Chains A and B, each alone.
Chain A
Amino acid sequence: MSQATGNLSPLIGHYVSREPFDPYEIEALTPEQERYYMASQWTLMWFKLKRHRIAVISGAVLAALYFSILISEFLAPYDLHTRNTGFIYAPPQGIHLFHEGRFVGPFVYGYNYRLNMENLRREYTPNPAKVEPIRFLCRGDSYEYAGLFESDLHFICPAEGGTLFLLGTDRLGRDMLSRIIYGTRISLTVGLFGITISFFLGIVLGGLSGYYGGWVDTIIQRLIEVIRSFPELPLWMALSAALPVTWNPILIYFGITVILGLIDWTGLARAVRSKLLALREEDFATAAVLMGASPRRVIGRHLLPSFMSHLIASATLSIPSMILGETALSFLGLGLRPPLTSWGVLLNEAQNINVVALYPWLMLPVAPVIIIVLAFNFFGDGLRDAADPYH
């Protein structure tokens, strides 16, 4: 054969142009067209995500909230633990702009305090004589930022000698707004660490199960089935009750995230498995195997990237259940404990019906919970739609 071609080649003249080959010579693309036609998959996803307006807004809300945990100390008007013993269970102060028809800028009315001797209730009413303008970028409670430097700069503070309890105070006279802002830090990171653990477990176990099949698959699938047949919350309750009481709060925090992640991976593992089962029969996977790639390389380099976007979308959708889980556990007193402050820990104070009747503002930490869960759901939905840009 090679003999034949060797003989033929000089006979048939074969012209090869030395010029570099340009496939778009005939149909030249303008830069805009090129940007669109030659876009990578991630760029296409971004194009599609941008069109989903609610998802973009939710993404922005999430980004803002996650950014806020970097500067909680600056945003909160008070320190996490500042007790204002004169203002216990004070109701929220409303922000006003006009005082007696005159513009004064944002200000709050100070409190009139009276102890009702009949039912021993603390009664606060706004005092129209006390106009307390809110200060911005001002000096307040001092804090140590990330162990780096000390500062007392806050975004907003009360007037000199005045109060600023925009969301009221709790049973120790601590400002709810500040506590909610600090609580964001814990509540949001619990979900993030938890999902990292569950993502890792899901990919590894789902990958093994889908790629190898056979008895590995059977065992992992049975394990998933068993874990899924436990109702989530009672199982979380049992596991977090098993965390030793002697642990310090930071260890408890990591314990809780591990527990949340350990139970949650089953859904992701199933998604990985079903995708792998379909993809491992594709030609490119066979080609990689024939070229001698190890299973780790085939899964990690060739198979995973083709459905990574799907995985990220479904992971985004399962973060809210972790945040809700932490909130529920802390609410029951099985999760995080003070001095760690998460939204669930704050809600722990709103455990009985008296709160609803007398101090409804103690239930306010539920508002950020709802917002963040909604935002994650909408954003995840948008991501999931965008994950399939050719659809």
Chain B
Amino acid sequence: MLGYTIHRILIMIPTLLAISLITFVIIQLPPGDYLTTYVAELQSQGETVNLAKINFLREQYGFDKPLHEQYLLWLFGMLEGNFGYSFEYDLPVTEVVGDRLLLSFIVSFTTILFTWMMSFPIGIYSATHQYSWADHGLTFVGFLGLATPNFLLALVLLYFANVTFGTSIGGLMDPQYLEEPWSWGKTVSVLEHLWIPVVVIGTSGTAGMIRRLRANLLDELQKQYVITGRAKGLHPFKLLLKYPLRMALNPFIADIGNLLPQVISGAAIVSVVLSLPTTGPMLLHALQSQDMYLAGSFLLFLAVLTVIGVFVSDLLLAVLDPRIRLHGGMTR
């Protein structure tokens, strides 16, 4: 187990390096940099530009250096916990990002829990009552969840939450808690607001999960050991829970790798619509204004979050399934 963990961690290093390189390339893609945009903006407003100041800034941020040196500077800066500087906010990136990353993490984590809680019973029911009306109905609802663009679902749910429950529109907490430190009231307020994004982001993932669990469970239910168990007079419910379900559980863990990018993607757009104080809206804004270090850091954080999620899911799988532990995890 220890050997497997170390092996897995060593594999992560080149992946993370490649991710950082791709992120750097992407943030360099738009022509020009923030300073040129900034200068152009000032000029278009008819303001004078202090060239000496711009040149000073350019040197300060290393924009005058060749690209590979800029990349190395950025990379080594990050290793020291220095993620660069946000021009838009005039603050180091770490300070701008602050709480947002935590809230992003909370939203994603809750969504995955929600997805599991929803898809688990529904998937089992669909599989054990295959081709019943409820099965068809649930499958259809699942498909509908898959097909509806979640940003629109977010808008509609937000409207109804406001009309029926009086939840304040937008944000992840009531306005009075915005600048407050964490307290009981704030936590309750966050929980009151959290369900809309969680339900909205969770729908598409839930649909996929239900279908996979149903398919896996159906495969298991046809196997001979189930028939043997039934023939020996085991209670159907106990039989279901004890053997086939355990086998069909693997996708729940293994799918974190697929689910997490999906959830983070969903969270990005939903939080723009709901104006949640998570990474999504700020990433969008940073991309639009070419605030490259900020945008790059967000992209990098989200990717790293996914890599770590996959890592955790692989470890959990290895704990659950000795076949993976022994074969070095190359079954996927």
The interface of chain A, by Cβ under 8 A from chain B, is 222-223, 225-235, 237-239, 241-242, 244, 320, 324, 327-328, 331-332, 334, 347, 350-353, 355-357, 363, 366, 369-370, 373-374, 377-378
Contacts and interface: CB of A to CB of B under 8 A. Distances in A.
A231 B261 contact: yes
A237 B26 contact: no
A324 B146 CA distance: 10
A230 B148 contact: no
Contact of B26 (A239, A350, A357, A378): A239
A373 B147 CA distance: 5
Given A241-B30, A350-B155, A234 B265 contact: yes
Interface of B: 14-15, 18-19, 22, 26-27, 29-31, 143-144, 146-149, 151-152, 155-156, 158-159, 162, 169, 260-262, 264-266, 268-269, 272-273, 280, 283-284, 287-288, 295, 298-299, 302-303, 306-307, 310
A351 B147 CA distance: 19
Contacts of B284: 237, 332, 334
The prevalent SS among residues of A at the interface is helix
A225 B258 CA distance: 11
The prevalent SS among residues of B at the interface is helix
A233 B283 CA distance: 11
A97 B175 CA distance: 51
B152 A241 contact: no
Contacts of A331: 149, 151, 269
B269 A334 contact: no
Contacts of B261: 228-232
A238 B26 contact: yes
Nearest to B25: A242
A107 B82 CA distance: 67
A225 B159 CA distance: 39
A334 B287 CA distance: 10
Nearest to B306: A229
B86 to A, nearest CB: 16
Given A233-B264, A234-B283, A363-B152, 15 more contacts: A222-B14, A227-B22, A229-B15, A229-B307, A230-B299, A231-B302, A238-B295, A241-B288, A332-B272, A347-B149, A350-B152, A353-B159, A363-B155, A377-B146, A377-B147
